[in-house]
Structure 1
Amino acid sequence: MEEIQPCAEAPELATKMSMASCPIRAMIRLRRRVRNLKKSRLHLDLSGGRALETIQSRIFQKQLSFEKTHFNSGFQNAPYFSFDTPNLEKVTLIKPKRKKKRRTNRVVMYPGGSRKYLPVEHKSKAKRCLILLVGIICFQILNAIENLDDNLQKYDLDGLEKTMHRDIFGQQLAVDSIMHLLKDYLATHIHNKPLVVSLNGPSGVGKSHMGRLLAKHFRSVMDNDFVLQYYAVHHCPQGNDVLACQRDLSGMVSDVVVRAEIEEKIPVLIFDEMEEMPPLLLDLLREYFQPNQSNEFLNAIYILISNIGGSGITKYVLQNASSDVLSQHKKLRELSGVVKSSLQQHHMLWDQAEVVPFILLEKSHIINCFLDEMLREGYYPDNGNIESLASQLKYYTQGERHYSIMGCKQVVAKVNLLH
Structure 2
Amino acid sequence: MKVAHLYLLVHVFLTAGVLVNAFDPITTTVVLGIGASLGRQIYNYLHESCSPKWITFNATGLKADLERKLIGQHIASRIILRAVNGFMSNSNPKKPLVLSLHGWTGTGKNFVSQLIADSIYKEGMDSNFVHVFTSELHFPHASQLETYKSQLQQWIKGNVTNCAHSMFIFDEMDQMHPGLIDGIKPYLDYYDKLDGVSYRKAIFIFLSNAGGDSIVQKALDFWRGGRDREEIQLRDLETELSLSVFNNKKSGLWHTSLIDKNLVDFFVPFLPLEYRHVVQCAMAEMIAAERQPDQNLAEQLAKDLVYFPKADRVFSVKGCKTIGSKLDYYT
Q: TM-score, normalised by structure 1?
A: 0.57
1:114-153 paired onto structure 2 within 5 Å: none
Which residue of 347, 350, 357 corresponds with 2:255? 347
Give 1:401 shift: 7.9
Aligned to 1:417: 329
Residue 303 of structure 2 is matched in structure 1 by: 391
Please state if 1:317 is matched with 2:219: yes
Counterpart of 1:356 (choices 268, 277, 285) is 268
Q: TM-score, normalised by structure 2?
A: 0.72
Aligned to 1:404: 316
Aligned to 1:225: 128
CA distance in structure 2 between the aligned counterparts of 1:214 and 1:232, rounded to whole angstroms: 21
- Equivalent residue for 2:238? 336
Where do 5+ consecutive residues of structure 2 fail to align?
A: 1-51, 248-253
Deviations 1:179-201 (A, max 9, x none): 10111111122122222111111
Q: Secondary structure at the match of 2:128?
A: helix
Alignment deviations for residues 349-385 of structure 1 (CA, whole Å, 9 cap, x no partner): 2332111111111111100111111233343322222
Aligned to 2:139: 236
Query: Is the CA contact (8 Å cut-off) linking 2:104 and 2:212 kept in structure 1?
Result: yes
344 and 416 in structure 1: CA distance in 2 versus 1, 3 angstrom threshold: same
- Structure 1 letter corresponding to 2:191: N
Is the Cα contact below 8 Å between 1:230 and 1:272 reproduced in 2? yes
C-alpha distance in 2 between matches for 1:414 and 1:196: 34
Q: Distance in 2 between matches of 1:217 and 1:247?
A: 31
Q: What residue in structure 2 maps to residue 41 of structure 1?
A: none
Q: 1:198 aligns with which of 80, 91, 100?
A: 100
Aligned to 1:134: none
Please tell me the residue identity of whatever aligns with 1:352. L
SS in 2 for 1:220: coil
Q: 1:414 is matched by which residue type in structure 2? A: K
1:303 aligns with 2:303: no
Asked if structure 1 preserves the Cα contact closer than 8 Å seen for 2:56 and 2:120, the reply is no
- Shift in alpha-carbon separation, 1:312–1:226, aligned structure 2, 3 A: same
Percent identity over the alignment? 28
**TM-superposition CA deviations, 1:246-304 (whole Å, max 9, x none):** 2332222112211223xxxx322211111112234211122322213516122221111
Alignment gaps of 5+ in structure 1: 1-149
Report the counterpart of residue 100 of structure 1 in structure 2. none
Greater radius of gyration (CA):
1
Find 1:267's aligned residue among 166, 174, 192.
166
Secondary structure of 2:122 counterpart: helix
Paired residues of 1:205 and 1:360 also in contact (CA < 8 A): yes
Partner residue in 1 for 2:230: 326
RCO (CA 8 Å, sep 6+): is it higher in 1 or 2?
2
Q: Which amino acid aligns with 2:67?
A: H
Structure 1 residues 324 and 414: alpha-carbon distance in aligned structure 2, compared to 1, 3 A threshold:
same
